[in-house]
Chains A and B, each alone.
Chain A
Amino acid sequence: MRPLSGVRVVDFTDIWAGPWSGRLLRELGAHVIKVEGPRQQPRKSDPNLLRVQIVSDERDDRGRPKYFRNAYQTMTNPGKDHVALNLKEADGAELFRSLVAVSDVVIENWAPHVMPSLGLGYDDLRAVRPDVIMLRTSAMGQTGPEFRYTGLGATAEVLSGLCTISGYEGGEPQKSGINYGDPFAGIHGAFAILAALLRRSRTGKGALIDLSLTESLITTLGEYTVGASMNGEQPPRMGNRHAAKAPHNVYRCAGDDEWVFVEAGSEAEFRALCAAIGRPQLAEDPRFRDVAARKANEDALDAEIAAWTTGRPHVEAMETLQRAGVPAGAVLDGGEVVRNPHHEANGAFAWVEHPDGKSYPIPQMPWRAPSAPRQEATPVPAFGADNFRVFTELCGVPPGRVEGMLESEAILS
């Protein structure tokens, strides 16, 4: 048995934050039904999010690509059933409510006005499923003067404070390379749902959860809000250096754009580092005798370490240092991460054979849990692929009626 066997989730979400919550629940054994709308309907000239599309040459009878899945879809939605509805049609909204009636959880991540305007607000859903657990993920939360504002993971990132402490010394605030707010909201959202399920198992009560991308990210940065409130303190940008440790930096290695991160958090690690780079005498050098001295002479120290790393491949430099007891990490690019032996041994990615003939790596959960072993990775179904089965078997709609609603485009394909 998996922890969420028997739990059904209606996942009406887009992009990354909301779908990631659904993905986590799926990995724990829930039956997740992904509901898509006209925005996700395949078109010949789809705005290709992040210039990444996985498109098969195979066409359906209307000449559209049969598998039209961008990288977000393959990353966030494997293992979910896929149905598609036009919720602005009365029949579409009614079908949504009938799905909710046989489900435990609803996840949505649209702007706050969207669900109530479709007749699918919390009270509407509670009318058909009194103990429903509804997760509403949004940029700013469901209340407050800016509740109508929209945002992506990047919006939350700039609003969270993170960019102002990240960046080169003396340089600009730095945006990270990902939509930083999204995965945190996805993880926190799954946690909130699980907590609500645990409460429901004891009390029978459902829950309405209001998750703001911005607040969710700031919660991981609380030491900085505490610091600012106590001292008015805004830590300066210091590149890869650290306020209380030296060395702590990213150093150039032999190959093109190859780097290694190295730090020494204790005297023992510093001695080990000096020995490993063939300069044991550095540990005796008065310029580096303790953390304070090393912070004061950090440029000189970094130059000594860089002199050693520059001639070495990044993985080799890491292995040498880690074997000596020094925290070091090769700065891997996306391809190196996927093919790294440690990540491979831990099943960090599953390779999915897609009908277009290519294989794609799908990130897996970073946990090992005896009752939630990795599920077989499968291609993400096409738009509306599970319409017929879900609406007839789960919602009990007669097949002829499903055909009619496909015709009237309340159900989309």
Chain B
Amino acid sequence: MVEDNVIDDSSPFSGLKVFEFSKTVASAYCGRLLATLGADVVTVEPLAGGPVRSLGPFPDGARNVETGAGHLHLNASKRSVALDMDSEAGGSVLARILERADVIVQSAVRASEAVVDFESLHAARPEAVLATISGFGPEGDYAEYLGTEGVATALGGLTFLSGDPGEVPLNPAGNTINCAAGGYAAVALVAALLEREFTGTGQHVEVSVAGAVASIIEVSSQRLIIQEEPVKRTGNWQGPARGIFHSQDGHIGCIMRGRERLEDMADWLGVEELKGERFKPFTNMWAMDPELEADLNGLLTVGFLGHDKLDTYHAMQALRMPFGYVADFAEVLSSPQLAAREFFQEIDHPDAGRHSVPRGPFTADDMPLELGRAPYLGEHSEEALRGLLGYSESEYAELESAGLVSSASPAEA
């Protein structure tokens, strides 16, 4: 806790006061990355709870502001303040936040809907850094468009690439694209903090979700110029010996980089034809004739069908081929590799029960990544307003009795 003024040297963001206003997943993910490395992140929510709380699944399917899986994951380790931001008193709380924050992170489907403007923040606290993530950024033809996950994925060029040839293109499920934008924002924001060490001044970094997508469509943007036609989607077969294939018990991710192991594979799969002369002239898997590619993938299809996916995974990895098995989330949770690395933290929650939260994207030798449970809506309203923002006991009581802030705690819930 910041009140104790104990700065833990091992955590990069220890002592950093971050306030978060998340109308989308993007800044919630950014805040989560900061919280994972020791920042004190306070998510400031409307009285009904922020949108992240509506992201399921929910235990037994029943919607509840405290038990949504999106909230339990993205808000882990944060504190929550619940506030009527549209009221005059809410405005005055916001003004105090601007005076005292080290960092503010915020996101919305369009930049004009963000809560905090940089000029006000800079005037109140010149050293504060603001990160704003919006669907399309603050400028350009689409600045006022609604940049949701699906919209940004389509306009950034990723949707077109996924799905079966000739069929409707597919968006990847989930909120990963907003997380990518949140990650970019975290990068730019920490760079601004580093610069502040020298200049003493904060700045505003702005990230576009659609721009984040456009930056990660791999070589799709360049293939157009080189081959003078756009990359098309190819479904689950993505080249010779490359893609998702059926196994006896599910699916295997076959990812072969060259033909050098083809004979070993033929032995293990029991498909002699893979040793055929016609596959031999090719040192280069990527220059394969389409008919031969179809033959090769057809033989592999037969071979993989005869084997269990985990057996294939381990056998192919033993041959130094970068295979994977297509894991569902129960299998992700039971992965021995992830378990050995303590990737999931088991968190107890009075209402949601015990659940498994990813600790974060990396570990560092002496940078502990420790997560606490996600906060109840407004659980830290009093603590934050009095401890961080300088409200007296009676001032806080006044706000609460007027219904302008609210608090909940496990005991009351």
Contact = CB atoms under 8 A, between A and B. Distances in A.
Given A161-B328, A191-B190, A240-B170, 19 more contacts: A2-B195, A49-B286, A72-B219, A155-B323, A158-B324, A174-B170, A199-B11, A210-B364, A223-B57, A227-B56, A263-B151, A327-B151, A330-B154, A336-B230, A343-B140, A365-B188, A368-B137, A368-B207, A372-B191
Contact of B151 (A158, A220, A328): A328
A368 B160 contact: no
Contact of A223 (B174, B208, B209, B252): B174
Contacts of A173: 244, 251, 326
Centre residue among A71, A148, A330, A333 by max chain B CB count within 10 A: A333
Interface residues of B, number: 162
A229 B356 contact: yes
Contacts of A366: 137, 181, 184, 207-212, 214-215
Most buried by A among B54, B197, B365: B365
Interface in A147-164: 147-152, 154-164
A396 B195 CA distance: 29
Contacts of A110: none
B174 A221 contact: yes
Contacts of A263: 148, 150-151
Contacts of A358: 225-226
Interface stretch (A79-87, A176-184, A275-283, A403-411): A176-184
Interface in A291-346: 318, 322, 325-338, 340-343, 345-346
Nearest to B199: A1
A150 B330 contact: no
B357 A222 contact: yes
Contacts of B128: none
B191 A369 contact: yes
A336 B180 contact: no
A150 B370 CA distance: 28
Contact of A199 (B12, B152, B238, B322): B12
A248 B139 CA distance: 26
A302 to B, nearest CB: 11
A402 interface: no
A176 B356 contact: no
A346 B74 contact: no
A250 B179 contact: no
Contact of B333 (A228, A318, A328): A228
Contacts, number: 541
Nearest to A183: B216
Contacts of B251: 158, 163, 172-173
Interface in B355-369: 355-358, 360-367
A48 B327 contact: no
Interface string B304-342: 000000000000010011111111111111011110110
B318 to A, nearest CB: 9
B69 A223 contact: yes
Contacts of A198: 12-13, 190, 193-194, 197
Contacts of A368: 137-138, 205-207
B201 to A, nearest CB: 9
Contacts of A160: 327, 332
A203 B9 contact: yes
Contacts of A74: 222
A245 B309 CA distance: 34
A218 B54 contact: no
A327 B154 contact: no
